[in-house]
Structure 1
């Protein structure tokens, strides 16, 4: 009986491994985007191919918000900032009358964001700075462990895209090194990307605020300052890639016009290149938005991407499932 059970278990494992080898992207429909991905990977990894790329040069970069996890109805890092405003409010009695904090504390999101990017920046600077990098990492780690989506009530770490998780694994299995290149905060992402995406902190590139070396209580510390250091969005993305990686990617993945320059930089390189944009078209399983959305706006990419040879993923038609919890 024991031997029979072991034989069955081994058979199941063999079947699973064989099935994965036959289809490493099972959550993708067998449409043009999946076929393009597989064809690209096979061409650049097959020795003897005219398009072969050595493993050291197989760099793939991914945007985060809207590409690896959801970004509607508001960027998740801003949800973190809102929670920080509430937590820090007792230390800042002036926030009861000072905008945009007063509106946030009243739950009036629309008024709080009426000031546009300036208001958002003020909120982020006030809630993300003034502490050591270690303290900030712990704050993010504790928050992300329980933070839930305002609509689905799922953990934010469950609001990741199953097809993109498969794509990350598929690329790494074929010798690629995967990086996040996001407009989000680098130190907001680093505490959890290894666990959620399998991407270690040293392979995360993002926006940052200035940091200073100090001694606190006789111990060395890095302290976060209320000053912008680098914005890793739009034209900043190729700059961030150059500063942190030192190699031009051969494949880049995004979802908005904020990723345009990253894909443009990637696909302008010599040899076979790959660019992909995720188009949010599924208002039943996720959200449908593009040209007019204040979050994740995709306009120029829709017009110019196909002419540049970029792959456009139609989320509704090209993905069998969107989130991992749909498979349970």
Structure 2
């Protein structure tokens, strides 16, 4: 190839690279679909100073549920799996658990008896594994579990079971002046143990279910001790309450995936000005799971109806996401 032609070819290639990068856009794992266009159009509208929908950066608040929205939640919520593992780990310190339900069911692997214990049984397990220690100790236990435990289906660490398209969305929003929050039914300290490293969301922007606590000074050793009493259930109507009390601003964008997020989505869209409500719809049985109205975990029924009635954006995972997890190659379903 003559030198002049080679230089012309290299120059053309260099000019093409940024164009290819631009074509991929800020959401490369999203197909060119209605959901992606709706997100990009919303962000453009609220960040363009010439737009009638312009929102000042201080008011660009975006809230996200965690379980099923930012990472997977099947076959059980990951925090529940943590609690079950903690029961087994702590069992030698609690010989009474061998005959006491629901702990006996956990130790015996009796799924039927565990299910029969219902929400009351689950709360006993959570209280036993989440309280009676300092916040620092609880977070250390959480971090140790996350560093060693793997998901039963993929054999990947739970912190890798996050949704790559949602990681891109979080970064895209922050690049455009948004402040991103987690508002989840998960326990707040459990999520704070990994949220900054995994999602880029700092502890002060993580809102969740909380236990009562007290300050203790034991011979100069200071700690916050976690008590076995629920202080606030950050699920359903509890989410708008915590948003109001902690953030103090109504979000302009909210994302969820289940009926537990319905009130948060309603609260967000009830404000004045341009608003965005999104739902992650689990439709991909091949790459993740497919479930909605009849699921016992992450049920999406009333919120799905509301989304269709009110024009919210429903993201079809199977159709709209080229990739689910960061460890997967790009896929065009």
Cα distance between partner residues in 2 of 1:224 and 1:172: 33
Structure 1 segment 155-234 matched on structure 2, within 5 A: 155-234=157-236
Task: Report how many residues are paired.
Answer: 319
Q: Which runs of 5+ in 2 are unaligned?
A: 1-9
TM-score (norm 2): 0.92
Cα distance between partner residues in 2 of 1:222 and 1:20: 48
Cα drift, residue 217 of structure 1: 3.7
Query: Are 1:61 and 2:63 matched, yes or no?
Result: yes
Q: Deviations over 1:20-62 (max 9, x none)?
A: 5851011111110000000000000001100000000000000
Structure 1 segment 164-313 matched on structure 2, within 5 A: 164-313=166-315
Cα drift, residue 107 of structure 1: 1.5
Cα distance between partner residues in 1 of 2:17 and 2:245: 44
Cα distance between partner residues in 2 of 1:106 and 1:214: 37
306-315 vs 120-129, greater mean Cα deviation: 306-315
Cα distance between partner residues in 2 of 1:20 and 1:188: 37
147-156 vs 300-309, greater mean Cα deviation: 300-309
Aligned equivalent of 1:140: 142
Aligned equivalent of 1:5: none
Q: Which runs of 5+ in 1 are unaligned?
A: 1-7
Structure 1 segment 28-107 matched on structure 2, within 5 A: 28-107=30-109
Cα drift, residue 18 of structure 1: 6.9
Cα drift, residue 147 of structure 1: 1.6
Q: Deviations over 1:95-144 (max 9, x none)?
A: 00111101100112332121111010000001111101111111111111
> 1:100–1:113: 8 Å Cα contact kept in structure 2?
no
Q: Deviations over 1:130-163 (max 9, x none)?
A: 1011111111111111221111111101100000
RMSD: 1.8
Cα drift, residue 167 of structure 1: 0.3
* Greater than 6 Å deviation, 4+ residue runs: none
